Amino acid sequence: MKVIKKLNNNVVLALNRSNEDIIIVGKGLGFKKIPYELEDESIIEKIYVIPKNTKAEEVLASIPTEIIEVTEKIISYGSNILNKELNSSIFLALCDHINFAVKRSKEGIVVKSPLYWEIKHLYQNEYKIGLEAIKIINKELKLELSSEEAPFIALHFVNSQIGDNDMMETTKITSITGEILNIVKYHFKINFNEESFNFTRFITHIRYFILRQLNKEHLENDNEFMYDIMKKKYNEEHKCVKKIEEYLYKNYGWTCSADEKLYLIMHIQRVKSREYSI
């Protein structure tokens, strides 16, 4: 592994054995004279991959060292809160975002996320990470970055948990999730208990339902008999699912198999029965 650029004392840009750009984190990696061959790879704490078709050296050249340090702190904090390994492509994307957010802040520009409600309510842990990230940035860089940036930072952590999706796809999933929830909410005239297990399960189901639609994958119609039984037993939930089906077809050209509708009925029945009326 060859180290080719120092980002700070503990973060460097390197080439792996396939001659691909990677970012590696480890104590003292930036102290040696660059370039050099890294013999002892046991000192590496983290490896971040570079998204395809990205010229990492060009991107990183425009990002100050203190932004890189702050980004690493935020990712470490977020990983601990979520208690999981994040997609290693998060580093460069979040670093670039924070750099531009800081520039906007210095120019007095505040951008509000159109998905503020969805992010705050659907991804509560990630939103908390976004809020803490603002505190870290403000403390380390002596700024007053607006909390309006929190949803944008949160979305990077959402994206880093959904495989290899790009940010546009993550944003679309979040937006459509909110649209489906609104259909359910206003059909039954209820407010959701966002802390409940049933709500969390419902959100997870919707997310993967949308992912299947985006990837043109569909559950097979293996449970049509059960679907026929459930739509009669839970007639009001079925009406709600039909509204969802019609909305998705009209706006996105998506169709729903009997199995997809069956699972939506079951999740809606659970979440509806434990919520309270508006």
pLDDT digits (tens, 9 = 90+) for 16-36: 888 888 888 888 898 888 988
pLDDT digits (tens, 9 = 90+) for 101-138: 999 999 998 888 888 888 998 889 999 999 999 999 99
pLDDT digits (tens, 9 = 90+) for 54-98: 777 777 878 898 999 999 999 999 999 999 878 888 888 899 999
Contacts (Cβ under 8 Å, ≥6 apart) of 210 = 172, 173, 176, 177
CA distance 174 to 91: 21
Contacts (Cβ under 8 Å, ≥6 apart) of 56 = 13, 21, 23, 50, 92
- Whole-model pTM: value is 0.73
- Based on DSSP, count helices (H) and strands (E) in the chain, helices before strands: 11, 7
Cβ(91)–Cβ(49) below 8 Å? no
Domains annotated on the chain, with CATH: 1-51 (2.30.24.10), 62-164 (1.10.1790.10), 167-277 (1.10.1790.10)
